[in-house]
Amino acid sequence: MTQRLQIHFARGEEIKYVAHLDLMRAWERALRRAGIPMAYTQGFSPHPRYATAAPLPVGVTSEAEAMDLWLEEPMTPPDFVRRVAEQLPDGLTLQGAAEAPESWPPLAARLREAEYTVAARGPDPAGRVAQVLAAASLPWREERGGKLRMHDLRPLVEELRATETGPDEARVTMRLRAGPAGTGRPQEIVAALGLEALAIHRTRLVFAPPSS
Amino acid sequence: MSLDAILPHVARPARYTDHEWNRVRRGPDEWDGSGVRFLFAYPDAYEVGMSNLGLQILYDVLNREPGVLAERCYTPWTDMEAKMREAGLPLFSLESQRPAREFDILGFSLQFELNYTNVLNMLDVAGLPLHSEERDERWPLVIAGGTCALNAEPLTDFIDLFVLGEADESLLDLVRAYRRGEPREAFLARAAQIDGVYVPRFYRVEHDADGRVAAVSPFRPDVPRRPRRRLIGQLGFPPVRPVVPFVEAVHDRAMIDLMRGCTRGCRFCQAGVVYRPTRERPLDEVLQAADELLANTGYDELALVSLSSSDYSCIEPLVNELTARYPRLRVSLPSLRIDSFSVELAEAVEKQRRSSLTFAPEAGSERLRRVINKNVTEDDLLRTAEAVFSHGWRAIKLYFMIGLPGERDEDVEAIVRLVREVQKVGRRYGRREVSATISTFVPKAHTPFQWVGQEADVRSKQAYLRDNLRRTRLGWGDPFASRLEAVLARGDRRLGAVIEGAWRRGARFDAWSEHLLPLAWEQAFAEAGLDMAFYANRTREPDEVLPWDHINTGITKRFLWKEYQRSLAAESTPDCRWGDCTACGMAALHPACAQRRAT
Ligand code: SF4
């Protein structure tokens, strides 16, 4: 019988440039060093079973990451945390672990929103934010693979606020839609505001209740 | 401008940010308190450098030495280099993010000739004067080691001293000598007396009218006439806390070297000469190291490294024990011999995914294989293929070289025949794939083929193979890259100007075909008044002084010449490990060999 653990973790400045897949590999290695009996997938090339709620973009720090992890043999969450904590590289912090029933849908399927705090620079942040909130749309052009695509970012923005922290500097907080119905990217929102992001930090992931 | 302003705009920024597991990071006190601060500089991308076992060993050795601090840096990729130059940010160490020029010693690892322009580029990004003679004790000492250091004459303009052979001990001797704080010239004179150290500025090179080296002689009476390769008799315990990268390395796995050296005597192989003789690690040491290494890193793959893994005398018990202890561990065995024993080994380690196995027959015909002393029969190969496919592997990859000395048309035709025979075996087992990588032979210094000119144009042979192996997946080396490698691998000091000229014209990362700039090199050759063909394609005279003759690898020129003559007669030479000692010269350097010579 495998056991499903839901773990919460933070990623700090030290390793904010580590790409998602590399971070996952670092997790696998830390878990192996800690002697955690990970469950493996079946098939031609078995790999440890885990699934994150939402990949963290390169350059972004977070205090709100979540991941499902399956173990071959059950462990108590405190025991798990104790053993893993000392095997984590600088910048990776395990905040907690809890058992989760197999019947719960994957975290990624339950994800609804994500909140960010961005240190930003640029002219009149508060004014730009007020304009965006009042507008019906926030057009964004993006080039991908040589193709120009137009998006409307406005429906992805649930909440947006700017607090000036100095001349032409502000702390922008935002709650963006995330998950199966579309995901807002903080970098794009800040760029669409005409601001430059100096640091982006994820503060919260909002999930739908497991039963719904 | 800070690093944080740059990193969001470059590819794989985590290559430049450290904090990897097991990296040795010291506090500012230790920085100030360290007598010698050593920066390992790898002249290729992070992903390549992080796969190098030698560097892991030396990082470990130096960081365990009291009063020494060792950090790492790799060549910034071209996007990063541009940003760093724009921002005025000099080359820095990963661990403490300090500028390279604040270190006492910069140590380059030379594993491949096509990394040379990166050495210059790193010196330049670091803000150091390029030329050794422009740097006194106010600048870091710039040293280099690794396989290429045994003929690094083309780099003598830029490097203060070379570490020849195994550096585990000589690096310690060097840092201890450095601690005396002597002026540069005095220090170099002292260093030149350390076994395994070569200080090129103390040697005069004369050329004859045709450009060939006429003589190499020391300027000073107190330096050895022929600096020699350092050899360690007893291998140190393997590093069991290697740095574990975040960014995926080319070989992203734990590594243990089972043994050093290989005496099979393939005549094209430089490693087979310059790492002689074979020295094995005891089985229990390998197992203990494996336990610690896996516990300390969390890797799910362990490579048992050696020049010929199947030749390690305890390989079978080792593999069985490892797979019993670690059922999920992937054990990889690079460089497998072509025989069914190797297939059994591979079978033991790859219980699950049997995707592909790689073998290197090197030449198509048995005659040519005798010429290069790769003594494998067609029967061996076909039987091995049979074993591979019958045990469920889906693919075989074969390595061949073209342009080998004494190669005739029928030898190239034999490659086609051999590939087809292997395919025939494959067809009996359903859909099995046979692919081939065909590279151009590059003659190397210190090998029996050091006199041989590289074939100038192998295009017709490539075309022939392409036409006749239409349904086979073929890989090719870049022709200009092989030619450049052939030039630099047997170059002399005059090539320093060419390397510099090419670098000034933008050459760097020459080992990456997308960055290789043939025109920059051709212009640099023209500017220096030198000819690529002189270095690459010219067959050397029997009595010619070769630019690397004054470097003593322990293997005598007489032995190499004898081997060359035997190759011309297509005569094979047996491995001294199983057969008689063939008197390669190691007896003067290695007690075990001396004993065998005596009996
Ligand atoms: S001296 Fe003899 S035994 Fe030693 S490596 Fe050379 S050939 Fe082999």
pLDDT in tens, A169-209: 999 999 999 987 789 999 999 999 999 999 999 999 999 99
Distance from Cα A141 to the centre of ligand 1, integer Å: 69
Q: Which pLDDT belongs to residue B143?
A: 98
Task: Name B50's Cβ contacts closer than 8 Å, sequence gap at least 6.
Answer: B74, B243, B245, B247, B249, B250, B252
Cβ contact, residue pair B21, A29, below 8 Å? yes
CA separation for the pair B571, B145 (Å, rounded): 34
Closest atom of ligand 1 relative to the B592 alpha carbon: 4
On whether any CB of chain B is under 8 Å from the CB of A120, the answer is no
Mark yes or no for CB contact A46/B246 under 8 Å: no
Provide CATH code, domain A111-207.
Answer: 3.30.70.3190
Alpha carbon distance A163, A161 (integer Å):
7
Q: Find the Cα–Cα–Cα–Cα dihedral B24, B30, B31, B35, rounded to 10°.
A: -110
Q: Which are the contacts of A120, defined by CB distance < 8 A and separation ≥ 6?
A: A162, A169, A170, A171, A172, A190, A193, A195, A196, A197, A198
Whether the bond into B327 is cis, omega within 30 of 0: no
Indicate the burial class of B126 (C-beta count within 10 angstroms; 0-12, 13-18, 19 or more): buried
Q: Which of A13, A18, A72, A190 to mutate to test the interface with B (most CBs of B within 10 A)?
A: A18
- Cβ(B391)–Cβ(B347) under 8 Å? yes
A and B: number of Cβ contacts within 8 A: 65
Lowest mean pLDDT among A102-106, A141-145, B76-80, B498-502: A141-145
Is B246's CB within 8 Å of A15's CB? yes
Tokens of A164: 């000036």
Closest ligand 1 atom to B581 CA: 2
Q: Which of A22, A29, A44 sits opposite B14 (nearest CB)?
A: A22
Percentage of chain A with pLDDT > 70? 100
Q: Of all protein residues, whose CA lies closest to atom 8 belonging to ligand 1?
A: B576
- CA atoms of B448 and B266, how far apart (whole Å): 9
Which of A14, A15, A29 is the closest to B244 by Cβ?
A29
Strand partners, B358: B397
Chain B residues with CB under 8 Å of a chain A CB are: 7-8, 12-14, 16-17, 19-21, 244, 246-248, 294-300, 328, 352-353
On whether the CB atoms of residues B184 and B137 are closer than 8 A, the answer is yes
Give me the pLDDT at residue B599, please.
Answer: 67
* Distance (Å) from CA B76 to ligand 1 centroid: 42
CB nearest B298 (choices: A17, A29, A46): A29
Residue A180 pLDDT: 78
* Confidence (pLDDT) at B269: 92
CA of B590 to the centre of ligand 1 (A): 9
DSSP character at residue B244: B
Residue B471 pLDDT: 86
Instruction: Map out the domains of chain A as residue ranges.
Output: 3-102, 111-207
- Is the Cβ of A46 closer than 8 Å to some Cβ of chain B? yes
| A25–B contact, CB cutoff 8 A | yes
Whose CA is closest to atom 5 on ligand 1? B277
- Give A31's contacts in chain B (Cβ within 8 Å): 298
A91: pLDDT strictly greater than 70? yes
The answer to whether residues B235 and B281 touch, using CB atoms and an 8 Å cutoff, is yes
Centre of ligand 1 to C-alpha B559, Å, is 11
Report chain A residues whose CB lies below 8 A from the CB of B96.
Answer: none
> How many whole angstroms separate alpha carbon A6 and alpha carbon A176?
23
With CB atoms and an 8 Å threshold, state whether B300 touches A26.
Answer: no
d(CA B256, CA B287): 10
Cα A1 from chain centre: 29
Ligand 1 center to B263 CA (angstroms) = 8
Cα B459 to the chain's mean position, in Å?
27
Chain A nearest-CA distance from B85, in A, is 21
Nearest-neighbour CA in chain B from A29: distance (Å): 4
Q: How far is the CA of B334 from the centre of ligand 1 (A)?
A: 24
What is the residue-wise DSSP string for B302-359?
EEEE-SSGGGSTTHHHHHHHHHHH-TTPEEE--S--SSHHHHHHHHHH-SS---EEEE
Q: Which residues line ligand 1 (CB under 6 A)?
A: B 263, 276-277, 576, 581-584, 586-587, 593, 596
CB contact under 8 A, A17 and B20: no
Contact yes or no for B13 and A17 at CB 8 A: yes
Give the dihedral of Cα atoms B157, B159, B164, B165; nearest 10 deg: -120
Q: Please tell me if the domain spanning A3-102 has the same topology as the one spanning A111-207.
A: yes
* pLDDT score recorded for residue B171: 96
- Cα–Cα dist A179/B161, whole Å: 58
How do the pLDDT tens digits run along chain B, 599 residues long? 588 889 999 999 999 998 999 998 888 888 888 789 999 999 999 999 999 999 999 999 999 999 999 999 999 999 999 999 999 999 999 999 999 999 999 999 999 999 999 999 999 999 999 999 999 999 999 999 999 999 999 999 999 999 999 999 999 999 999 999 999 999 999 999 999 999 999 999 999 999 999 999 999 999 999 999 999 878 889 999 999 999 999 999 999 999 998 888 999 999 999 999 889 999 999 999 999 999 999 999 999 998 888 888 889 899 999 989 998 888 888 877 777 777 777 777 776 667 778 888 999 999 999 999 998 889 888 888 888 888 878 888 999 999 999 999 999 999 999 999 999 888 888 888 899 999 999 999 999 999 999 999 899 999 999 999 988 899 998 889 999 999 999 999 999 999 999 999 999 999 999 999 999 999 999 999 999 999 999 999 999 999 999 999 999 999 999 999 999 999 999 888 888 888 898 888 888 888 887 76
Amino acid occupying residue B533: A
Q: What backbone torsions phi and psi does residue B257 show, to the nearest 5 degrees?
A: -85, 120
Chain B residues lying within 8 Å of A17, measured CB to CB: 7, 13-14, 16-17
pLDDT of residue A185: 92
Inter-chain touch B298–A22, beta carbons under 8 Å = no
Contact A201, A63 (CB under 8 A): yes
Q: Using CA positions, which residue lies closest to atom 1 of ligand 1?
A: B586
Any idea what DSSP says for residue B582?
-
Beta-carbon separation of B14 and A19 below 8 A: yes
> How far does A26 lie from chain B, in Å, by closest CA?
6
Q: Do B247 and A44 touch (CB under 8 A)?
A: no
What gap in Å lies between CA B469 and CA A24, rounded to an integer?
A: 41
Atom of ligand 1 nearest to the CA of B593: 4
Q: How much is the CA Rg of chain B, to the nearest whole Å?
A: 24
* Separation of CA A6 from chain center: 15
CA of B589 from ligand 1 middle (Å) equals 10
Report d(CA A28, CA A22) in Å as an integer.
10
Output b/e per residue, B293-302; b: 16+ Cβ within 10 A.
bbebbbbbeb
String of b and e for B198-228 (b: at least 16 CB within 10 Å)? bbbbbbebeeeeeebbeebebeeeebbeebb
Chain A hits for B248, CB-CB cut-off 8 Å, are 22, 25
CATH class of A3-102: alpha beta
**DSSP letter string over B86-140?**
HHTPPPB-TTT--BGGGSSEEEEE---GGGHHHHHHHHHHTT--SSGGG--TTS-
Residue nearest to atom 6 of ligand 1 (CA): B584
Nearest CA among B117, B120, B52, B43 for reference residue B76 = B43
Which two three-digit tokens encode residue B555?
């293997």
Pocket test for ligand 1, best of B259, B264, B373, B584 (most atoms within 8 A of CB): B584
